[in-house]
Amino acid sequence: MWFKITSTARRLRIRLIRVKEIQVSDSVMNLDGQEVSFEKGETVLEVARRQGTFVPTLCWDERLDPYGSCRLCVVEVEGRRMPASSCTLHAEKGMVVRTGSEKLRRMQSTLVEMVLSENPDDECPRCRDLGSCELHDLATEFKVGRNRFLGATSNASKDDSNPFLLRDYDRCISCYRCVRICDEVEADHAITMTGRGWNKGIATAFDGLLMGSECTLCGQCIYTCPTGALADKKMVHQGSIPGEVEVTRSVCPYCGTGCSINLHSRDGKMIGVTPVLDGPVNEGALCVKGQFGFDFVNSEDRLTMPLIRKEGELTSVSWDEALDYTSARFKSIRADHGPKAFYAIASGRAPGEGAYMLQKFTRAVMNSNQVDNCSRG
């Protein structure tokens, strides 16, 4: 029996599931000569990844339903004449699977070469800004280039009309991960597949601008793209900053939700933000502010030290002096004017723990019940 999960649940990455396949099974299959157990409903690719076995993919994303278009994940199954795509093949009891034979390596190597042959030879923005992309990682793994099958590219023009996304479909490999994540995870349906054969591509309704579509600028399409066909325009513009890219895991400061983010910096300057797929709160999802609104970090006007007004002028002081000053002022206000003179407003950007501590401080230390939150509707 099948249950269709709503689009809201899809945002939580809960997709179509079969009720009978939720329970853990004691079924066993043979993977590259080893007996491994699997759960009902698991694909061969999922079993292989769980066992740490390398199986190349380009159209696969763990958040999306299996698609099987790139054919890179093919495996040999005993009793089958032709290799099968492991991302769409469900594991079965007693199945014997081989993932790394010489025959498979030759097939996968050739497929990667053919995909590379349709891509421009210059450095893609993803490799420059993030250090690599899935396509070039596979080219390195299989030690292949684009010369053997060198041919025409699509020569699709870059779409630079969006303030946040740069779309260079000359690098598109038709994996449709961007379309699928917009549909299956975000439920926005802002982009779709269009055309056939050499004229295939990605477009919005009526081939309009992305800003005029249902796009919420979440950035999910950028970071599921395995090539440089989609890029963060702000990060691209920061590409001239010299130095190695440093990645720091942090928490988005824009609201109290607590979304996990990766901060990318060069030479002490922020160049971009990428989502964290295993973030406990957002699981890779970000809003437009969390994804693209980091410019303030590099502002020269940003306060980096506390200020105290002395003789009419704001003066930088140490944190110890600032905390001592604040504590003394709170005490004098309560002593001179009573607890009701103290009023606290929690920031809408503060996490729940911070809001809790503020109300606790207001009530228990300042003896005031006058506490509120700026995001209260």
In whole angstroms, what separates CA 262 from the centre of its chain? Answer: 9
Same domain, 249 and 348: no
Question: What token pair was written down for 349?
Answer: 């950007």
Q: Which of 268, 285, 302 is a domain's end point?
A: 302
Q: Which of 243, 232, 188, 246 is nearest to 10 (CA)?
A: 188
* 278 in any annotated domain: yes
| pTM of the predicted model as reported, rounded to 2 decimal places | 0.78
* pLDDT reported for residue 179: 96
Q: Rounded to whole angstroms, how far apart are CA atoms 122 and 20?
A: 50
For residues 158 and 224, state if they share a domain.
yes
* pLDDT recorded at residue 271: 87
- Tens-place pLDDT, residues 122-166: 667 667 666 678 998 999 999 988 777 776 666 666 776 788 888
* 244 domain residue, yes or no: yes
Tokens found for residue 363:
């009530």
**pLDDT (tens digit, 9 = 90+) per residue, 314-330?**
999 999 999 999 999 99
Rg (CA), the chain: 26
Q: Residues 44-63: pLDDT tens digits?
A: 999 999 999 999 999 999 99
Residue 111 lies in a domain: no
Whether residue 95 lies inside any domain: the answer is yes
- C-alpha of 30 from chain center: 33
Q: Is residue 2 part of a domain?
A: no
Parallel, antiparallel, or unpaired for β 96-98 and 28-31? parallel
DSSP 19: G
Residue 371 predicted with pLDDT over 80: yes
Is residue 1, in this structure, part of any structural domain at all? no
Other C-beta atoms closer than 10 Å to the C-beta of 329 total 10
Domain co-membership, 167 together with 79:
no
User: In sequence order, what are the beta bridge partners of 132?
Assistant: none
Range of the structural domain that residue 279 is part of: 240-302
Q: How many domains does the chain have?
A: 4
The CATH number of whichever domain residue 138 belongs to comes to 3.30.70.20
Q: Which of 257, 273, 223 is nearest to 375 (CA)?
A: 257
Using CA atoms, how far apart are residues 300 and 305, in angstroms rounded to an integer? 13
